[in-house]
Amino acid sequence: MKKVWLVCKIAIFTILGSGILFYFTAPILIGQQIDFSKKPRQWERSRTYDARHYLVKINIDVEGKAFEGEAVLTLSSLRPDLKSVEFDAEDFKVEKVTDEWGKPLSFNQTDNKLFIKLERPYSLGEVFSIIAFYRSDEKAHKTTNKKGLRFFEASSDHPALVASDSWPDGVHHWFPCYDFPNDKVTDEIIATIKEPYKVASNGRLVSVEKHEREGTVTYHWLQDKPHSTYLIFLAAAPYEIIRDHYETIPINYWVFPQQAKDALRSYEKTPKMMEFFIKTFGTPYPWDKYDQISVPLGGGAESTSATAMTYEIIHDEKAEKDFPSIGIVSHELAHQWWGDLITLRSWEHAWLNESFGTYSDYLYYEYDRGPDEGAINLLNKKNAYLREARTKYIRPIVTDHYDSPQDLFDAHSYQKGACVLHMLRFILGDQGFFQVLKEFLHKYAFQPVDTHDFMKTVKEVTGENMDWFFEQWLFRPGHPVFEVESNWDETRKTLSLTIKQVQDNSRGIPIYKTPILIGIRGSKSLDENVIQGDQNDEIINKIWITEKENHYEFHLTQKPLLVRFDRGNYLLKEWTFPKSVEELLYQARHDDVIGRMWAVQELGKYGDKLEVVKAIQNIARSDDFWAVRREAVEIIGAWKNTKFIPFLKEKCQDKNSQVRASALKALGDFGQASLAGFFRECFSRDDSYVAQAEALKALGKTGDKRQIDFLEKASAVPSYRNIIRNAALEAIRQLSEKQLNRDEHAPLIICWEF
């Protein structure tokens, strides 16, 4: 869940291929901003009762930003002599509490709790109900508006509406409840609101009743399968509902009327995604229906059977090439299993929701776009974590040290955890890995779970004790940093490989134990224990790294053309591997996508060699995959040589918008006013918002203030998420600052008057 409105998920929107950067040098861990070990330790909450069912009758006044409710809270005692109960309750005023027979009960409400004295003691397992009558706190909902039901004024993008902000503990801001994920409950929402508002919520729609005299309508929703409290959702707006389905499962898209014509562009693959996940997880879709409901909040929240989705993922046709929605749509759908069917028991196990959701969106992306695009998607996830590790902090994925749950919804829980699952799949194999997922979902369906439940399932399904793996990847911080060296002995016909782990171990980062594949091309093995690859000239050796320094020898018929460290790109790592120009040139032409990109980046150190320059230019022109071409363009731009301007102008017509954008950025960095006309031409002809925005930014770097009029006109061009306007304003700011800097450094001229 891109817990939206606070974090991610996880920059939920990913510009395809953006931010690709290989971390292959030792990490800089100086000046880490946050030390998680110093944060307070948190515990799973204890409770005196088991919440069984919540029935919430709520009247909503969108215009007045207010509500009043009646909550019937059905509980069973977890104590032999339960005399009182407490609920989480905040931002509303409880006016009366009764038992199920209508007899008043004494109660006390504080800022965030509701304490109720029961009419008599209840014994262990005894079921009873309490009814609380309440109304919203005017100050909380008109001023703070931070959690619970959030009211939104009408804007050019959306009508006036209300939507619940329930994650992670916001439900108790709109009705009293036990607001922690270790208790699962069924619920009903009976919401009354003025027409033409439509109310979306969890579960199945029981009824819609219109009250013509009052001009209101009542929606009755029933979620009759247990789920955690933070997954309870409500939204109301004059939605247009686009109906779809997968087999007999209703799938609906609740969108603002002005976006209805574009909505299917973002959502139409949902049935195919559902089919894919049902097969991949070996588990049926567990709920009555699946709705995706537009809200004016960032990201998405996977409320059970009813995902709250930012309206900003809906876009025009032009934006599709750069801002596809399949990542967030598949991520949130996957949460219907990972997070909703099974749910973290307490917040330190956030990875059970988010790592699995993030890995699932990678799985679908690879299925939908192919293995090369999948490889880039996974690389971006690795780099998102590595950026956080290098610039902010490292922490164990599973940790009970945090200030608030939001602390744990970061690149460790999302992207690092997804990479850990990919490594687990590599070790267990596809059959074992996906069987583990299936059995875990089946065994713990509709239950809260923790990491040890998953570890136990791995043992039960595969017979493998993977505690060593989980210890180093989940319960310890950091990642391995390798220094790799190879040496060819012509006399002995032996390739020697040395792999050192050089990560700083002073802060709990372990020496890692891991298998890894070494790919060797251009030779034949004289050893027996090798795994043959798909290509006739490749030898694949599986080795185990277990020590700080590891040495290996491979007996071959001749010196290889390529030695590939981590063939298949399974490991989450940083590394250095010095290679000759000859080997890098070979790798840049013949390896997989990730290997070709890495080799191109390494070749960037040799811009003074003519053969390298020609090779990089050829790759930028002719490599089959856009990300490799873009990498080559960026290397050429980094050389900062004006002789490459004609070539970069040529690449501004590449068939891929990301390559064109990189070429425009490289040209803009030259800061040449003579290129202004070219940048204007590129802006006018390009069919990509991203490339057009880069052309405007390049104009801002020319220093030619005559371009301001053009930029002001460009700022009025409508675009997805205002990307064109923002680029134009940035360019104007740059030109204005350059002019100001010139004025400040201009010579002082003094005129003497006699």
Q: What's the token pair of residue 244?
A: 């779809």
Domain-ending residue, one of 446, 473, 500? 473
DSSP state letters, 443-485:
HTTTEEE-HHHHHHHHHHHH----HHHHHHHTSS----EEEEE
Share of the chain above pLDDT 90, in %: 89
Do 181 and 56 belong together in one domain? yes
In a domain, 171, yes or no: yes
Q: How far is CA 498 from CA 344, 363, 557, in A?
A: 41, 33, 20
Return the DSSP state at 222: E
Average pLDDT, the chain: 93
- Both 353 and 220 in one domain: the answer is no
Tokens standing for 141? 């909902």
Supply the CATH number for residue 651's domain.
1.25.10.10
Amino acid letter for position 345: R
CB of 155 within 8 A of CB of 185? no
Residue 332 in domain: no
* pLDDT tens profile 648-700: 999 999 999 999 999 999 999 999 999 999 999 999 999 999 999 999 999 99
Determine the pLDDT at residue 32.
67
Cα–Cα distance for residue pair 443/458, rounded to 1 Å: 12
What is the number of residues in the chain? 754
Tell me whether residue 11 is in a domain. no
Residue 203 has pLDDT above 80, yes or no: yes
Helix, strand, coil % in the chain, rounded to nearest 5: 40, 25, 35
Query: In this structure, are residues 714 and 724 in contact, taking their beta carbons and an 8 Å threshold?
Result: yes
CATH code where residue 398 lies: 1.10.390.10
With CA atoms as reference, report the closest residue to 502 among 558, 553, 547.
547
SS3 letters across 60-105 = EECCCCEEEEEEEEEEEECCCCEEEEEEECCCEEEEEEEECCCCEC
Q: How far apart are CA 274 and CA 239, in angstroms?
A: 23
- Give phi and psi for 562, each to the nearest 5: -150, 130
Residues 105-118, mean pLDDT to the nearest whole number: 98
- 112-139 pLDDT, tens digit per residue, is 999 999 999 999 999 999 999 999 987 6
Shared domain for 344 and 199, answered yes or no, is no
Q: At residue 705, does pLDDT exceed 90? A: yes
Residue 566 lies in a domain: no
Distance CA 10, CA 386 (A): 13
pLDDT exceeds 90 at position 16: no
Q: Which of 91, 199, 64, 67 is nearest to 145 (CA)?
A: 91
Where on the phi/psi map is residue 429: left (φ > 0), alpha (ψ -120 to 50), or beta?
A: left
- For residue 137, what pLDDT is reported? 86
Cα atoms in the 13 Å half-sphere on the side-chain side of 464: 15
Q: Are 584 and 491 in contact (CB under 8 A)?
A: no
Q: Tell me the pLDDT tens digit for each residue of 492-511.
A: 999 999 999 999 998 899 99
Domain presence at residue 251: no
Structure tokens, 516: 């890894």
Cα separation, 141 vs 618, in Å, equals 61
**Contact present, 455 and 444 (Cβ < 8 Å):** no
Q: What own/partner pairs with CB < 8 Å and gap ≥ 24 does 701-704 have?
A: 701/668, 701/669, 701/671, 701/731, 701/734, 702/668, 702/671, 702/672, 702/673, 702/675, 702/676, 702/735, 703/671, 703/673, 703/735, 703/738, 704/673, 704/676, 704/735
The total domain count for the chain is 3
DSSP reduced 3-state for 173: helix
Q: Which domain holds residue 53?
A: 48-146+160-236
Sorted by sequence, the CB contacts under 8 Å of residue 580 that are 6+ apart come out as none
Q: Are residues 70 and 195 in the same domain?
A: yes
Report how far residue 294's alpha carbon sits from residue 300's, in angstroms, rounded to the nearest whole number. Answer: 9
Which tens digit of pLDDT belongs to each residue from 710-723?
A: 999 999 999 999 99
Nearest of 374, 311, 313, 303 to residue 339 by alpha carbon: 303
Torsion sign, CA atoms 282, 287, 291, 295: negative
Give the torsion through C-alpha atoms of 18, 20, 26, 32, to 10 deg.
Answer: 10
740 falls in which pLDDT band (50, 70, 90)? low
Q: Give pTM, 2 decimals.
A: 0.94
CB-CB contact of 496 with 484 (8 Å): no
Are residue 224 and residue 362 in the same domain, yes or no?
no
Q: Are residues 86 and 198 in the same domain?
A: yes
Alpha-carbon span 434 to 561, nearest angstrom: 36
**Residue 531 pLDDT:** 66
β-partners of residue 734 are none
pLDDT for residue 17: 37
Q: State mean pLDDT over 298-326.
A: 96
Q: Is 348 in the same domain as 467?
A: yes
Q: In the structure encoding, which two tokens stand for residue 332, read together?
A: 């949130």
Q: Specify the pLDDT at position 139.
A: 67
Whether residue 368 sits in one domain with residue 232: no
The confidence score (pLDDT) of residue 138 equals 74
Q: What is the pLDDT of residue 27?
A: 46
pLDDT tens, residue by residue, 330-346 = 999 999 999 999 999 99
Do 70 and 219 share a structural domain? yes
Determine the pLDDT at residue 161. 98
Give the residue from 473, 495, 518 where a domain finishes: 473
**For position 298, what pLDDT does the model report?**
86
CATH number of the domain encompassing residue 83: 2.60.40.1730
- Which of 101, 232, 100, 237 has its CA nearest to residue 176? 232
- Give DSSP secondary structure letters for 377-419: HHHHHHHHHHHHHHHT----SS-SB-SSGGGGSSTIIIIIHHH
Interhelix angle 689-700/657-668, nearest 10 degrees: 0
DSSP output for 657-672: HHHHHHHHHHHHTT--
Nearest 5°: CA angle at 150, between 148 and 155? 165
Mention every residue, 6+ apart, whose C-beta is less than 8 A from residue 624.
Answer: none
With 70 as the cut, is the pLDDT of residue 15 above it?
Answer: no
Tell me, yes or no, whether 59 and 207 share the same domain: yes
More confident residue, 379 or 147: 379
* Residues 105 and 219 placed together within one structural domain of the fold: yes
- 509 within some domain: no
The H or E element containing residue 243 is strand 240-246
Q: Tell me whether residue 329 is in a domain.
A: no
pLDDT digits (tens, 9 = 90+) for 24-41: 544 444 446 789 999 999
Number of Cβ atoms within 10 Å of the Cβ of 249: 17
446 belongs to a structural domain: yes
Q: Can you tell me the distance from the alpha carbon of 294 to that of 163, in angstroms, rounded to the nearest whole number? A: 9
CA 83 to each of CA 99, 113, 229: distance values in angstroms, whole numbers, following the listed order: 13, 17, 24
Domain closes at, from 213, 236, 259: 236
Q: Which residues contact 107 (CB under 8 A, 6 or more apart)?
A: 94, 97, 114, 115, 116, 117
* 228 and 367 share one domain: no
Q: Can you tell me which residue has the tokens 């990730």? A: 594
Token pair in block for residue 743: 């004025």
* pLDDT tens column, 265-309: 999 999 999 999 999 999 999 999 999 999 999 889 999 999 999
Stretch 630-639: mean pLDDT, rounded? 98
